[in-house]
Structures are given as C-alpha cells and as structure tokens.
Structure 1
C-alpha cells in the first residue's frame, strides 16, 4: 500500500510540475491562487515523505532510506544522485521530477 501511495504522489507531483501555471488556474480564481495552492500541497506531500524517510534528519536521503520511505526515488536513485555522492537531497528530487515532466 505504501508503494502505491508513493507512486501516486510522485505521479501527481510530476504532472503538476509539467502543467503550465495558466492551465492550473481554474476560471475565476484570483491570480492563480487555487492552482498555486494545489501545487504547494503536492510539494508539501513530497517534503513530508522526504522528512519521514530521512531518519537521520540530515537533509540527505541514502539509498536505503529511499528504499524504505520513497521507493520511486529509490528506483531512480542513480539518476537523481548526479554527483554520485551516495545520497540525494529534496532539491535534487524536485529537479529530477521537473526534468522528467519537461521531457514528456
């Protein structure tokens, strides 16, 4: 069940990042506040999952931590860990997700 939820959240965030801000704003929403709020909620979910998986609370997710708490990140760990440091950060995960969304 956790794997399904992780995959679902990652897909939602990747989709939200790929949608232009103008498309996220429903008609009548003032200054895109609804679209921005939705994106912020999704990013907060990713941040929350990252924080829960980062059991050492050092801002770095090891492969083992990713496997335990963010399996989709673990599947793409080598792609996300561009510096080959043995860990990934939240910023690297977000950059990876944006790049994947832009490639679609």
Structure 2
C-alpha cells in the first residue's frame, strides 16, 4: 500500500485499485491494532497500513494529534467532554468520538482559537 498527497487529498494505492479521500472529508484518524483508520464524513472507515507518526507530517494544519491513538481534524470539533482526570473526548455528529489526552488539550485549545 502506498499513501500519497495529490491536490489536497490522500491517494491510497492498493493492489486492487486507487482510492481518493479529500482532507475536508476526514473527521479523524485512529490507530487501531495494525492499521490506521480514516474516519470520514461519509461514515466510512478506510484502513491504511501506515502509522500515525508517518501520516502526521502529510496532513494540513487543521489536523492535530490529540492522543497517542488519534489525530483529529479540528474543523469538526464542536465540544470536548471530560471522561476522567487524564482523558477527554470529542464527540462527532456520526456518533463516533476521538480521545484527547490531558497533555494535548492546551495545544488543541490554541489551534481551535486560530480556526
């Protein structure tokens, strides 16, 4: 699998074809087992076999690492809820949510104010 950036979107090249995903359609990226899942506005999860650390530099500034397992498109964040003393969550309209660690919350706040 190859992941490239073309015209402000991901181009995911697999053996069976090529898939394009616009950055504006990605709500968040989640690391789950051996894959990174791209959660999109179309409510589909697109698995890619690339780590968040490798994907992160490819993303525009609207994407922020909020947890060791999540990178969130801050354009979709409407609220942040406290789960416990170290973890928050950002719920989205599709019923899914992303985690935000306490140490990443201040960076997230700064980025939200800039949008």
TM (norm. structure 1) is 0.25
Q: Tell me which protein shows more strand as a share of its residues.
A: 2
Q: Max radius of gyration: which structure?
A: 1
- Which structure's residues are more often helix, by fraction? 1
